[in-house]
Amino acid sequence: MKMQLLEDKIRAEGEIIGNDIVKVDMFLNHRIDVDLLCEIGKEFKRLFGDLGINKIVTIEASGIGIACVTAQYFSVPVVFAKKGFHRNVGNDIYSGEVFSFTKGITTQIGISKKYLTPDDRILIIDDFLANGGAVKGLIGLADQAGAKVMGVGICIEKGFQSGGKELREMGYRVESLAIIKSINDGKIVFG
């Protein structure tokens, strides 16, 4: 569900690099416009508010602020996956791998078993969706716990990469507040 305020912000303050990268350090990833975050949180509540969600799950670092501000409107806790776990971390962690196409590296992620349970009906929140590595990694942790993934809320989806399409085809309800269809000659086309 398109959110005009976010598209306007991306157009005004996003920094375009080549034909596939938009840096949003100015309001989402380094400096955080918290008023905007509140509007984003309310929009996620409007979109996912009727699904009985009892936990919001994200991944460090830039997902945490968005998840916490959003969680207020749901009155539910946040759990964030930590990065840099080792494969053999023991029996008390659900763990997995996230491959980042952008950075070309694989990162171990994990969530303590105490904080994901079969009773959970979770909403996954993240800032970006491109190839979907992070979201798929979080779904993997939820699956290990037997938690239900009720939805995936994304701020900015790169529609020209395959993550969103793949997740929707897998049956997940993915709502992206801004979908970038393409970047041509320094101009962003929203989908």
Binding footprint of a second copy on the chain (CB under 8 A): 25-27, 30-35, 37-38, 60-62, 64-65, 67-69, 71-72, 75-80, 82, 111-112, 114-115
- Distances in Å between the alpha carbon of 29 and those of 40, 47, 61? 14, 23, 9
Toward a second copy, which CB reaches closer, 51 or 182? Answer: 51
Pick the closer one to a second copy by CB: 13 or 143.
13
Answer whether 57's CB lies under 8 Å from 80's CB.
yes
Instruction: Report in angstroms the alpha-carbon separations of 14 from 85, 113, 135.
Output: 32, 37, 23
C-beta of 33 vs 143, nearer to a second copy: 33
Quote the least distance from Cβ 137 to a second copy, whole Å: 16
Task: Quote the Cα angle for 56-59-65, to 5°.
Answer: 70
In whole angstroms, the minimum distance from the beta carbon of 181 to a second copy comes to 28
- Write down the least CB distance from residue 75 to a second copy, Å: 7
Cβ proximity to a second copy: between 13 and 20 the closer is 13
Q: How far is the CB of 125 from a second copy (least distance, A)?
A: 12
Q: In this complex, which beta carbon is closest to a second copy, that of residue 149 or of residue 179? A: 149
The dihedral region occupied by 84, where left means phi > 0, alpha psi between -120 and 50, and beta the remainder, is left
Q: How far is Cα 135 from Cα 125, in angstroms, rounded to an integer? A: 8
Cis peptide, bond prior to residue 61, ω within 30 of zero: yes
Least separation, in Å, of the C-beta of 92 and a second copy? 11
Best CA proximity match to 111, nearest among 125, 97, 92:
92
Backbone angles phi, psi at 133, to 5 degrees: -55, -45
